[in-house]
Amino acid sequence: MLLIPCPWCGPRDEAEFGYGGQAGVAYPRDPGALTDEEWARYLFFRDNPEGPFEERWNHSAGCRRWFNLTRNTATNEITPISPSGDASPPGNVATGEVGTASASWDAATGGPR
Amino acid sequence: MADPTPPREPATMVERISPLAGFAGVSDTRLRVREIPFLRQTNLRADPGKVPPSLGLRLPMEPGTWLRSGGADVLWLGPDEWLVIGDVDLPRSEDVAVTDVSAQRTTILVAGPGARDLLAHGCAIDLHPSVFGPGRCAQTTLARAQVVLVAGEDEEFRVLVRASFARYLADWITDAAVDY
Ligand SMILES: [Zn+2]
């Protein structure tokens, strides 16, 4: 069982969370312009590193917020990144360019920065 | 044309039955458990930077805390979400979404010197008094059921549980209480 640090609630049991997959996968700007292959790459292709992996998690049994963290897939060591309620960071997957997730919440006020 | 029927008195037709009606609870020196039925609960969603003073409530901004304000208990549920427990009428405004959720959950009072140990039996968060003392609250799971735990003075805890899980959780508490 992992102990996952929710940026709002602190460390909680893995069972309280839902997994959101790789972080920073942006929705294509113009989905209609994609070829089938590009669309399939956006839908199904994800990095699969052995080592640090940036992931999205949802504290579904707690505050219900989405956030990002980095988990080492070999050791399960977790490094918090920041509270992030924004699922669509800049970047365009279709061209292979993936944006980095940025915090969209101010930790003190919970409002937009 | 049908005969006009006399207007009925709606209040006399309705019998309120709480989710844990008939729950015997626990009552001894170490542990007291009973339902607190029909607490009025109001969910608030607002940008914490834009809460209008006309709301008439102070909202806790620190995660996992609650406070008493305007005759109600106000619980932090998320960075833009609060739960107001108490019989208060909140004004509608552009900046705050106000939703009555009274029927969503019922409340189980778990109190006494054995209360903390009982809750810890089925809850993974740290319930040590130095971490979860009076004024703290948490959304978490108790015996795998989603709950809101609220720590009050004198080892009194409110356990807010969805109505459909209430009977299960009450049975679990009754069973676990044997140990404490
Ligand atoms: Zn949380």
pLDDT tens figures, A73-86: 999 999 877 555 44
Please name the residue that has the structure tokens 């010197």: B113
B12 occurs within a structural domain: no
- Structure confidence at residue B92 as a pLDDT band (50, 70, 90): confident
Q: Is B49 on the interface with A (CB under 8 A)?
A: yes
Give the model's confidence band at A91: pLDDT under 50 very low, under 70 low, under 90 confident, else very high.
very low
CATH of the domain at B61: 3.30.1360.120
Q: For residue B57, what are the contacts with CB-CB under 8 A and spacing of at least 6?
A: B69, B70, B72, B74, B84, B88, B90
Quick one: tokens of B83? 């739960």
The neighbouring-strand residues paired with B67 are: B74
Cα–Cα distance, B9 to B36 (Å, whole number) = 27
| Average pLDDT of the residues of chain A | 78
What pLDDT shows up at residue A81? Answer: 72
Residue B46 falls within a domain, yes or no?
Answer: yes
- Helix ranges (DSSP H) in chain B: 10-13, 115-121, 163-176
More confident residue, B115 or B13: B115
- How far apart CA B131 and CA B142 sit, in angstroms, is 17
Q: Where are the alpha helices (DSSP H) in chain A?
A: 36-44
d(CA B113, CA B118): 10
Count, residues in chain A: 113
Contact A63 B47 (CB under 8 A): no
Tokens of B118: 């009982």
B141 in any annotated domain: yes
Q: Which 3 state secondary structure label does DSSP give A96? A: coil
Contact A111 B141 (CB under 8 A): no
Q: Would B146 be classed as within a structural domain?
A: yes
Number of domains in chain B: 1
| Cβ–Cβ gap B79/A12 under 8 Å | no
**B172/B175 Cα distance (integer angstroms):** 5
Which H or E run contains B5?
Answer: none
Query: Would an 8 Å CB–CB cutoff place B145 in contact with chain A?
Result: no
Q: What is the pLDDT of residues B136-174, one digit of tens each?
A: 999 999 999 999 999 999 999 999 999 999 999 999 999
Say if B5 falls within a structural domain: no
Q: State the amino acid at position A38 in one-letter form.
A: E
Average pLDDT over residues A30-59: 96
What domain range includes position B130? 29-177
CA distance A76 to B162: 33
Amino acid at A43: L
Q: Residue B22: inside a domain, yes or no?
A: no
Does some domain include residue B62?
yes
Tens of pLDDT, residue by residue over A49-69, are 999 999 999 999 999 999 999
Q: Give the model's confidence band at A1: pLDDT under 50 very low, under 70 low, under 90 confident, else very high.
A: confident
Nearest-by-CA chain B residue for A107: B79
Query: How far is the C-alpha of A21 from the C-alpha of A57, rounded, in Å?
Result: 8
The answer to whether the CB atoms of A65 and B79 lie below 8 A apart is yes
What is the CA B9 to chain-centroid distance, rounded? Answer: 31
State both tokens at B125. 């968060």
Residues of A in contact with B141 (CB under 8 A): 13, 15-16, 61
Shortest Cα distance, chain B CAs vs residue A17, angstroms: 10
What amino acid occupies position B161?
A: V
B81/A105 touch (CB, cutoff 8 Å), yes or no: no
How far, in Å, is the centroid of ligand 1 from the Cα of B47? 17
Minimal Cα–Cα distance from A59 to chain B, Å?
10
The nearest CA of chain B is from the CA of A51 a distance in Å of 28
Is position B140 within any domain? yes
| Contact call for B77 and A10, based on CB within 8 A | no
In A73-111, which ranges are E strands?
78-83
B61 contacts: CB under 8 Å, gap ≥ 6 = A109, A110, B48, B76
Q: How confident is the model at residue B3 (pLDDT cuts 50, 70, 90)?
A: low
- Tens-place pLDDT, residues B41-87: 999 999 999 999 999 999 999 999 999 999 999 999 999 999 999 99
> Of chain A residues 11-30, which have a CB less than 8 A from chain B?
12-13, 15-16
Of A61, A64, A65, the CB nearest to B140: A61
Q: Could you tell me which of B59, B55, B52, B140 has the C-alpha nearest to residue A109?
A: B59
